[in-house]
Structure 1
């Protein structure tokens, strides 16, 4: 047993000592690809190209542990790599196969097909395919302004303008119509004569809008037409508000989940979806035995435009699709994209596999063995966890736990100007008609054709019981 322990210790430590012993000349060429936040170009005021990101920090730690230098360069075609019809490898994998690089540093999934031509280190991050989708409109709602949300801003503003216009029109009619209380014969009560001054006109329209009472009604035909239209409008307005607010509270406590909760849901939906050409996700569906996943692969193949060349292209396609396209990508990158402004993306679906990201090396070079030993040291200090918190904590990271679950889509519960068009049209026509009648009243009275009565029978009080009751 002691001999076995010594052998294991030497097998672990000797490669590191050999590498450190040649540190003065140990420089490895690293090929990488721009993939936020793993590798990003950093601004360099002194000129030249420098990089930053999750993988760049790991490489810096590996340099210190192993005592080596890494010469980092971007792959020309910006691809991870796949085999062409001619049997040639492209991208990062092509660089390793042709010995143009020693190490490939990227979110490169560990795959058996790739392992035939390259070596892998142990994984530095677990990853599995998930679904990235655009957050449905109306997903979030402010609790503070809950009571204002049943109507859109345009509806509230137009209703306020209507309230002011009706109140002023009522005052104008009361003040200048010869048939109104303001011009009634002196035999009427004083409180009746002042019933529709500016203050009382606004009080009348406000109280009736809330289905409360105001003792008097207008005396003139134009005033009564205006009030009748206003009462009809407020009936529509309040019914719509109560219905929309009730729907808001019901949805707030019991939201309807989106239909896409799993990959099976996506396969049976009418949505378009895709992944990165030649990537591990595409290979997963291409080689799947599950009928639904085979169906998904056939769907991707039948729509070549749904397969993209990069993560950035796929994310852009999701944002511009208005919810009609889903991008299948590995969990870490999907969570990163969903945590970035404008916070309009979410991740759904349980990961199909428990694959991992690892560094890749030229086949048989032994470099990956050395990197794996150093990665163990980094893992033991929780350094990888700290780096993940540093680079994957975007502006929307506070919502990360919610993003990993299916969001909720609320039905339309906001009353818009389009919905309220008839009510506002009716109100506008009522105001116009009442003002036309108001003009006719002045004209007819001026000509002596119609003379206002002097009795008090017109002193109608809204809440007085009917005579004889």
Structure 2
């Protein structure tokens, strides 16, 4: 073999490299020359395989790694806690974490910019859009990742993905501005109206059963024609009221049937009083029922607080387009006082609620965060206008469907719930979850059922006692048991006649 030949084209590499330890021009034998050619070819092949994957100067293709070959999206957003915040010259927050997760799933890089005018997006009188929606329409940004509400007006000019957060419209208040003195009947607050109604019915029914059983039981009233029954209806009412006050009153029950009803009523009253005391203590410590503004109707009727929302926000247009009379009144109030009650940013709204007599109408999920961060703030219970936050893109964007599918996958995997808990967690939030509420009848259902069973057992016991006496009386009088039992029942239930006879008997005795 005179020449070392190879089928690979490595002339550029050969000409640019030197091998000082070997002089090719020096005379050598064929074997050594062959070994030298093989070693040189192997070295050149190894170097070409390494450099060929990172650079190709003739083709001009940049292959410096997978990160730099990904598509880059310009993302517009807005500074709002906890969605996007500036910490140590870097952006962080719920939306930033969401954007990172989407970029990892869909393999794209991004450049985040804060919206120039600090607005979400509303149409002006000239037909132009402001805020993030305007930047997308002017192609200054590819997508908008922010707490941007999906509305029909915005959907006409841009496209939205599947909502990544669900919210509604609520009222943010400062606790001391809406607190009020306890009403005259505040002691009734621990129980709901239904519970008080059920308690009154249970009291009357129990007293009636005491009255009835005391008349039927021979152990309590052995001789109806000659004895006076101490368990009159008024005395039965007094006995039941005494048990409610944990006081022993007369008459004292002697029959087993009457004692069964009395024992069940005592158990009922003790448990009921314990529940009342516990709930009343919770009411006084929480103070949550001292909010006179519970609904939007309450907000309209009061005159102490001004109220407003973000200027040009979807919340403002919700009230503008609503046909609800209450919503129309809210819109008219805000529109007439636009310069005084409408705010520019969410931070300004929260600050105004904390410092003045002002109620802010806005996204309930953001208000929950404000109440969690500032413990003297509270959101009213009523939430209206369910809506969602979505990612906005241009209508012709190929990323809309991809982002929607990615958001659904994040929701199904629980990642969205994790982000929600991460950025909304707070000590104040835990306290707000334990809001006080009046005790409902459902919570005392077992107690009412126990009372009903006890009353039924007492009545059954009284009937058995009367039937036992009737059987013995029938044996002595040689009559049928049913006829004697019927006579006893009629005698004991003739209230007026028995009362008159007892009065006549007592009158003769006095004479």
Under TM normalisation by the shorter chain, which class is it?
A: 0.5 to 0.7
In the alignment, structure 1 residue 393 sits paired with structure 2 residue 425: yes
In the alignment, structure 1 residue 317 sits paired with structure 2 residue 352: yes
Q: Distance in 2 between matches of 1:63 and 1:283?
A: 33
Check whether the contact 2:289–2:436 (CA below 8 A) recurs between aligned residues. no
Q: Which residue of structure 2 lines up, in the alignment, with residue 74 of structure 1? A: 114
In the alignment, structure 1 residue 55 sits paired with structure 2 residue 64: no
Q: Deviations over 1:423-463 (max 9, x none)?
A: xxxxxxxxxxxxxxxxxxxxxxxxxxxxxxxxxxxxxxxxx
In the alignment, structure 1 residue 339 sits paired with structure 2 residue 379: no
Counterparts in 2 of 1:361-376, with a 5 A limit?
361-376=393-408
Higher relative contact order (CA 8 A, sep 6+): 1
Q: Deviations over 1:51-108 (max 9, x none)?
A: 1000100110111101101110101111101111111111101001111111011111
Aligned equivalent of 1:288, options 318, 322, 328: 322
Q: Distance in 2 between matches of 1:97 and 1:127?
A: 26
User: SS at the partner of 1:29?
Assistant: strand
* Structure (1/2) with the larger helix percentage: 2
Q: By how many angstroms is 1:37 displaced? A: 0.1
Q: By how many angstroms is 1:255 displaced? A: 7.5
Aligned equivalent of 2:311, options 266, 277, 288: 277
Q: Deviations over 1:348-403 (max 9, x none)?
A: 13221210011111122121211111112211210010111110113412213146
In the alignment, structure 1 residue 65 sits paired with structure 2 residue 105: yes
Q: Which residue of structure 2 lines up, in the alignment, with residue 200 of structure 1? A: none
In the alignment, structure 1 residue 260 sits paired with structure 2 residue 293: yes
Residue ranges of structure 2 left out of the alignment (5+ in a row): 1-65, 180-279, 439-511
Larger radius of gyration: 2
Q: Deviations over 1:321-354 (max 9, x none)?
A: 1xx211011111100000004x110011322121
Q: Distance in 1 between matches of 2:369 and 2:286?
A: 29
When residues 405 and 325 of structure 1 are mapped into structure 2, their CA distance, relative to the original with a 3 A threshold, is farther
Q: Distance in 1 between matches of 2:286 and 2:429?
A: 24
Q: Which residue of structure 1 lines up, in the alignment, with residue 138 of structure 2? A: 98
- Normalised TM-score (structure 1): 0.54
Q: Distance in 1 between matches of 2:283 and 2:371?
A: 28
Q: Which residue of structure 1 lines up, in the alignment, with residue 176 of structure 2? A: 136
Matched residue pairs, number? 272
Counterparts in 2 of 1:163-174, with a 5 A limit?
none
When residues 253 and 399 of structure 1 are mapped into structure 2, their CA distance, relative to the original with a 3 A threshold, is closer
Check whether the contact 1:277–1:309 (CA below 8 A) recurs between aligned residues. yes
Q: Distance in 2 between matches of 1:119 and 1:405?
A: 42
When residues 94 and 405 of structure 1 are mapped into structure 2, their CA distance, relative to the original with a 3 A threshold, is farther
User: SS at the partner of 1:339?
Assistant: helix
Q: Distance in 1 between matches of 2:370 and 2:142?
A: 30
Q: By how many angstroms is 1:265 displaced? A: 0.9
When residues 280 and 250 of structure 1 are mapped into structure 2, their CA distance, relative to the original with a 3 A threshold, is closer
When residues 56 and 405 of structure 1 are mapped into structure 2, their CA distance, relative to the original with a 3 A threshold, is farther
When residues 397 and 25 of structure 1 are mapped into structure 2, their CA distance, relative to the original with a 3 A threshold, is same
Q: Which residue of structure 2 lines up, in the alignment, with residue 35 of structure 1? A: 80
Q: Distance in 2 between matches of 1:348 and 1:56?
A: 29
- Normalised TM-score (structure 2): 0.50
When residues 63 and 95 of structure 1 are mapped into structure 2, their CA distance, relative to the original with a 3 A threshold, is same
When residues 348 and 23 of structure 1 are mapped into structure 2, their CA distance, relative to the original with a 3 A threshold, is farther
Structure 1 outlier segments of 4+, above 2 Å: 247-257, 402-406
Residue ranges of structure 1 left out of the alignment (5+ in a row): 1-20, 45-49, 140-246, 407-469
When residues 353 and 361 of structure 1 are mapped into structure 2, their CA distance, relative to the original with a 3 A threshold, is same
